[in-house]
Amino acid sequence: MASEAVRDQNNRNEGENGDRGFCGKLMNKVVEFPRKLKKLGQDDPRRIVHSLKVGLAVLLVSLLYYFQPLYDELGATAMWAVLTVVVVFEFSVGATLGRGLNRILATFLAGALGFGVHHLANLSGQTAHPILIGVFVFLLAASVTFLRFFPRLKARYDYGLLIFILTFCMISVSGYRDEEILEMAHKRVSTILIGAFTAVFVCVFICPVWAGDDLHNSVANNIEKLGSFLEGFGDEYFKVAGNTESNKALLQGYSSVLNSKQSEESQANFARWEPRHGKFRYRHPWKHYLKIGTITRQCAYRIDTLNGYLNSEIQTPLNIQSNKVQELCMKMSSESGKALKELAWALKTMTKPCSAASCHITKSRAAANNLKSLLKTSAALLGSEGIHLLDIVPAVTVASLLSDVVSYAEQIEKSIQELSSFSHVQFKSAEPKKALQPCNSSASSTNDNVPHHVITIHKLPSQKEIGSKQGAAN
């Protein structure tokens, strides 16, 4: 009996503790929710503005219900205007224009085709009417659904194809029971047009968010993040004195570049719908940004591997990290980082890359070539110094990865040069002081290991001087 009483008391205590734990977790979530909302708005204040714009657009189309003359004209189909605003209004102008134009064109085409099918079915007689409509619904739905699998159509017109199927089926099928199909199609198309134009008007003319600007800044910021990592990598890897925690925090900024492919592709797709705005003309080469982004991600993959060596348990012996190898690796890393930052600044400000970026890349390439030559000449001396071949694998791998990073920096520079050379792209010329910056140290870095000999050439004596000397001697 005593044991049962103790067991019951323990069960009650566990139940009370469980209730307290659940209530505590619930209260914590309730308290954290406002903080998360505040952080969400602080991260990007445009989200708050976008929410207010959607509310305004829905309020405007809701007036079709509140004003009696408009409601008498449109009736219950006015709800399609509200539905159109909700599904069409997106965060950026390009996304809203794309969905709006897709919905308008698909509604027009499907409405016209549905009315034609209904008229053709009426001519076939009462018996063949439902059969003919069913055949057309099956064929159109199956064929348009198959077209959605094409990558190019899916990227730009997937929403329009979906609305085409929906509108065609609603008009053609509902027309079998409703004789006033033309009036129904007219009201539905009118309300969809009102909703789409309202959404586009509010999105474009009230604090617009351009997908092209976001793509442009995103690609430039990704290049800058890689440059920040490379500038601090050498100090961190070789444990140079003066390295702080803030530098270590900067080394993790590159990680967002690794997963940027999907967002860049969607932004490029939305940007193609946008009209001319700001510094971007019509038919701006948005696809070229995807090329730059691809090269940047490939460089980020190498940098991600380099980051693994910072916290690796396998360390290179100190006698292998000679002053010359350390100097060349740090030069490759720092100069590549400076070059990427120069290129990011040039892209962000739409300025043609100046000679400073080329100068930094030249220095990093020269350091890479010198390191390659040094490793080749030093390979034969490893055995005599008692160093095992496996001990130098981390050092050689880091040097190889840094050499790949230099190559990708060169490709990024070339891609930005190509972007600035397009005729319909407005890239400014570099500032004179920055464009004419000398690159004196590049030549010295390539000749650090080359012995120098001074040769003095004296002026040869003339024939008159030779004759006078011979006469004096006689």
pLDDT in tens, the chain (474 residues): 555 655 655 555 555 555 556 677 777 777 787 888 888 888 889 999 999 999 999 999 988 878 878 777 777 788 888 999 999 999 999 999 999 999 999 988 988 888 888 788 878 777 777 888 888 889 999 999 999 999 888 888 999 999 999 888 888 877 656 566 677 777 888 888 899 999 999 999 999 999 999 999 999 999 999 998 888 887 777 765 445 454 566 677 788 888 889 999 999 999 999 998 888 888 889 999 999 999 999 999 999 888 887 766 555 554 444 567 778 888 888 899 999 999 999 999 888 887 888 899 888 888 888 888 877 766 555 555 555 555 566 777 888 888 899 999 999 999 999 998 887 787 877 665 454 455 654 444 444 444 433 333 344 444 444 455 445 444
Tokens of 263: 């967002």
CA distance 270 to 160: 14
The residue among 170, 205, 240 that closes a domain is 205
CA distance 433 to 64: 61
- Which pLDDT belongs to residue 9? 57
The H or E element containing residue 375 is helix 355-378
Tell me how many degrees the CA angle 54-60-66 measures, rounded to the nearest 5.
135
The answer as to whether 399 is a domain residue is: yes
Dihedral sign computed on CA atoms, order 213, 216, 220, 223: positive
Tokens of 408: 């990708």
The residue among 190, 205, 220 that closes a domain is 205
The answer as to whether 444 is a domain residue is: no
Dihedral sign computed on CA atoms, order 403, 408, 412, 415: positive
Same domain for 229 and 330, yes or no, is: yes
- In eight-state DSSP terms, residue 206 is S
Tell me how many degrees the CA angle 86-89-95 measures, rounded to the nearest 5.
140
The answer as to whether 403 is a domain residue is: yes
CA–CA distance from 275 to each of 113, 262, 263, 285, 368 (Å)?
30, 23, 20, 13, 45
The answer as to whether 23 is a domain residue is: no
CA–CA distance from 229 to each of 100, 121, 249, 305, 457 (Å)?
42, 68, 10, 12, 50
Same domain for 196 and 240, yes or no, is: no
The answer as to whether 463 is a domain residue is: no
- Which pLDDT belongs to residue 241? 46
The residue among 374, 394, 421 that closes a domain is 421
- Which pLDDT belongs to residue 177? 61
Cβ contact 318:245 at 8 Å: no
Same domain for 169 and 270, yes or no, is: no
What is this structure's pTM? 0.79
